[in-house]
Amino acid sequence: MDSVQQKGRETSQKRSPLDLIMNQFRRKTSFTEKKNTSVGRLFRTSESKDKKSAGIPEAKETESGEEKDGMKIGAESSDDSEISSVVGWGRVKQFVQKLGKTPHSQSLSLSHCDLTATDAVELGTMLPFLNQLEVMDLSWNDLLGGSLNALSVHMQHVGKLKVLKLSGCRLTAQDLGALGETLDCVPLLETLDLSWNAGIGAGNLHFLTDHLHSTGTLRELHLLDCQLSETDSVALAEALLLLPCLEVLDLSNNKLQVSAFENIGSSLSSTPQLKTLKMSRCGLNQESLAILGEKMKFLVGLERLDLSCNKECGGGFAAMASGLFFLTHLKCLDLHMCCLTKEDAQTLVQVIPDLSELSELDLSCNKSIGTVLGSLFPVLTCSKMKTLHLSSCSLSPEACQALASIMPSLSQLQSLSVSWNKSVGENLQQFVECLQRECKLEELKLSSCDLNTNDLLHLQLACKRGALSNLKLLDVSYNGRVGDAGWVLFFREAGGLKQLQELDISLRPDACLSASAWVSVTMEALPQLPLLRRVSMQRWILSSEERLNLENILKKRNVLLEWDEVDVQNVAD
């Protein structure tokens, strides 16, 4: 140990941070006169412009009269910088760990940390020690609103920043102005997320966009639920003209009038690289769809289009059809809960054959299209389809047969949802018999499908032959017609679900049945499900002993059990 210490004194290049600090103390002749001051003051960062531009923290310069042992000013300044970096990073670590997070020099994730304005001031003073930072996430700290200027004045120290997330922070017009003024300090910024900030709306967006200059770096802009007004739509339209490399635009949950949509649509031609456009719950109607359809010819590279939850869209897709033909690279189309009509479905039947890259399609919660879907399934590009969601579409028996007929061709299918379609009951055999061994299906949702015991038998046979070996989520909830024999058969072959992580077999809220006849088989099957993490058994009733045994087994395996208390007197006879 002594030899190591002696070597450290002889070789200054290998001095530890502690040696450097102690050496600095010895050189400061005035230290004893200032012993009540903090070490942080002794090592304040320099105001040198050269040092700032390089992002290198440095300590207060030592005057030449304080030099000892023949050390040069340059060497002493280097020591100061090194010490300041060590002390500064120590502050960062202490601050981040105090909030229960893990410090990282390139990523600062402090979402949901209840940060206050005081924290913003303290964090701002630490940015000089985070000059390698690329990701800053301060989302869901609603007390930061009105204090962003405390951070923005130090943003020149994080010039490598690529991702900035400030969603749910109650940002004000003043915050937007401060943020806008710092955009020049972060020339590499690629993602800006300001979602869930109502203060951005009401005509305040221009406080940010007024400072926006033409940039080739910003690729993602998220303004989800910002209560954008028509005035804001004008500001956004002007901003889009300066964002030629934009790839993701999320305007969901903003009730846009037709005039506002016209303003935004007029600038979409300036974003030819746009790949994702999300306008869920934007109040779009038939007129809005017609406007959007006209702009599709400028968005030929679009890969994801989300128009879901716009209930006034129904009947308007025929006017948009001509534009959809341009989207030859479209991979994801989300139209769930759009009140689609039979005519809309027929339009999709005509358009989808040209969408050769389509791999995700969500038509859930459109109850008027069930009879037409039988014509849609044969025209899908089955070999590429990964996600097919058809919940609550009132599928007809003929549509179920048409879907079953293409199941062998859906070789890449990973997620299938046909929940809330009563016609699936007594017909599940058509779907599962066609599944190939070790198919890629990871999610299967069959909730409220009116399944019976025979349907569970066919599901069990699919498990037995390994057709569901990759399944991670299985939802067979709200199927009260399945008898005890069905659950016994199913759990006996549960070993075929080796990748299963989530299982939901709950009953409806207004139902309750005894599970005593098959719970022992369930407990015997659990060791065969090594990845299981959640089991939902709402409204099933067990004796106290059965429930205790099941809870103990699941607890040992770190499996969450979702269960509710049910009065035993309510068990069905």
Mean pLDDT of 192-198: 97
pLDDT score, position 535: 97
- Of 53, 32, 52, 31, the closest CA to residue 42 belongs to 31
Q: How far is CA 501 from CA 438, 448, 516, in A?
A: 17, 21, 23
* Residue 438 sits in the same domain as residue 550: yes
370 and 439, same structural domain? no
User: Which of 282 and 434 is assigned the larger pLDDT?
Assistant: 282
Domain shared by 364 and 461, yes or no: no
Among residues of the chain, what percentage have pLDDT more than 90?
A: 78
Q: Are residues 321 and 388 in the same domain?
A: yes
Helix and strand numbers (H, E) in the chain are: 21, 19
Averaged pLDDT of the chain: 86
Kindly state the average pLDDT of the residues 516-533: 95
Sign of the torsion formed by the C-alpha atoms of 378, 379, 384 and 387:
negative
User: N- to C-terminal Cα distance for the chain?
Assistant: 80
* 124 and 238, same domain (yes or no): yes
Structure tokens at 351: 């358009």
Domain count along the chain: 3
Domain carrying residue 315: 275-399
Angle at which helices 453-464 and 484-492 cross, to 10°: 0
Let me know: does 407 contact 385? Beta carbons within 8 Å.
no
Phi/psi-derived region of residue 394, left when phi > 0, alpha when psi is between -120 and 50, beta in every other case: left
Which one has a higher pLDDT value, 541 or 62?
541
* Residue 386, token pair as written in the block: 């990964």
Q: Is 430 among the domain residues?
A: yes
The pLDDT tens digits of the residues spanning 364-376 come to 999 999 999 999 9
Does residue 93 lie in a domain region? no
Residue 2: CA count within 13 A, CB half-sphere: 0
pLDDT of res. 43: 38
Same domain flag for 109 and 249: yes
Asked if residue 374 and residue 476 are part of one domain, the reply reads no
Instruction: List Cα–Cα distances, 311 to 252, 283, 340, 365, 418, in angstroms.
Output: 14, 8, 8, 11, 21
C-alpha to C-alpha distance for 361 and 403, rounded to whole angstroms: 14
| 87 inside domain | no
pLDDT of residue 45: 42
Task: Report the SS3 class of residue 474.
Answer: strand
Which of 364, 399, 434 lies at the terminal end of a domain, its last residue? 399
545 within some domain: yes
Residue 75 lies in a domain: no
- State the pLDDT at residue 87: 83
Exposed/middle/buried for 40, CB within 10 Å: 0-12, 13-18, 19+?
Answer: middle
pLDDT-derived band at 83, boundaries 50, 70, 90: low
User: For residues 154 and 271, what is the distance between their CA atoms, to the nearest angstrom?
Assistant: 31
Residue written as tokens 């190591």? 4
Would the pLDDT of 153 be above 60? yes
My answer on whether 213 and 345 are in the same domain is no
Q: Phi/psi of residue 109, each to 5°?
A: -110, 105
Asked if pLDDT for residue 91 goes beyond 60, the answer is: yes
Residue 554 has a pLDDT of: 94
Both 432 and 350 in one domain: the answer is no
Secondary structure (3-state) at 172: coil
Asked, for residue 251, whether it belongs to a domain, the answer is yes
| Residues in contact with 36: Cβ distance below 8 Å, sequence separation at least 6, in sequence order | none
Whether 192 and 287 share a structural domain: no
The last residue of a domain, from among 199, 232, 258: 258
270 φ/ψ angles, rounded to the nearest 5 degrees: -90, 0
Residue 1: CB atoms within 10 A of its CB come to 5
Q: Are residues 176 and 210 in the same domain?
A: yes
3-class secondary-structure state, position 4? helix
DSSP 416: E
Sign of CA dihedral 28, 34, 40, 44: negative
Residue 117: CATH number of its domain: 3.80.10.10
Handedness of CA 307, 200, 179, 118 (dihedral sign): negative
| Tens digits of residue pLDDT in 128-148 | 999 999 999 999 999 999 999
Closest by CA to 326, choosing from 294, 368, 367, is 294
pLDDT at position 84, please?
A: 62
For range 537-552, the mean pLDDT: 94
497 in the same domain as 562: yes
d(CA 465, CA 462): 5
Exposure letters 54-93 (e unless 16+ CB within 10 A, then b): ebbbbbeebeeeeeeeeeeeeebbebbbbbbbbbbbeebe
- Of 218, 228, 269, 225, the C-alpha closest to 248 is 218
Domain boundary among 375, 399, 423: 399
Full-model pTM: 0.83
Q: How many Cα atoms are found within 13 Å in the side-chain-facing hemisphere of 534? A: 10
Residue 343 lies in a domain: yes
pLDDT digits 0-9 by tens, 289-325:
999 999 999 999 999 999 999 999 999 999 999 899 9
Asked whether residue 46 is domain-assigned, the answer is: no
